[in-house]
Structure 1
């Protein structure tokens, strides 16, 4: 099975930046401890603080799917309901 890279871009509503950041940070330790997680790195845009990006690598798509159905992700979705303006996720494969 090939490894999977995820690039997830999250754009918070301008008045909800602190809330979204706090909730995203809660995901770090618990996700990094999950089976198959190689790295799970959160970034914040230097020019646009409402823009967050996860760069993730997983042992397989199946293990990433387990992560996507985890209770802590559901809790994040509930906590940030209405606070995220845009969410774009790309599943990628390293080619070089």
Structure 2
């Protein structure tokens, strides 16, 4: 089975950029230790600092789904409630 690539996109409230960035950074070391996590990299747009993007690679969709239901993601959602303007994901199949 091909690995699963995810792009996770977060558009922060302009007044909450520092909060969102700090909370997103907390996810990195925990997630990188999860079963099936191949790559988990956070990016911030150079022209729009309110836009963040995770580039992720997972061993399978099932393992990524476990990640999506993990306690640290629930904690992130609680800590950032009302501070995110938009959040969207893309699930992609790695081709080459």
TM-score normalised by the chain length of structure 2: 0.98
Q: Which residue of 2 aligns with 1:92?
A: 92
Structure 2: 5+ residue stretches without partners: none
Q: Secondary structure at the match of 2:2?
A: coil
Q: Which residue of 1 aligns with 2:41?
A: 41
CA distance in 2, matches of 1:65, 1:12: 24
Q: Which residue of 1 aligns with 2:57?
A: 57
Q: How big is the alpha-carbon RMSD for the aligned residues of Structure 1 and Structure 2?
A: 0.6
Q: Secondary structure at the match of 2:9?
A: strand
CA distance in 2, matches of 1:61, 1:37: 11
Q: Give the deviation of 1:64 after TM superposition.
A: 0.3
TM-score normalised by the chain length of structure 1: 0.98
Structure 1: 5+ residue stretches without partners: none
* Deviating 4+ runs (over 3 angstroms): none
Q: How many residues align?
A: 96
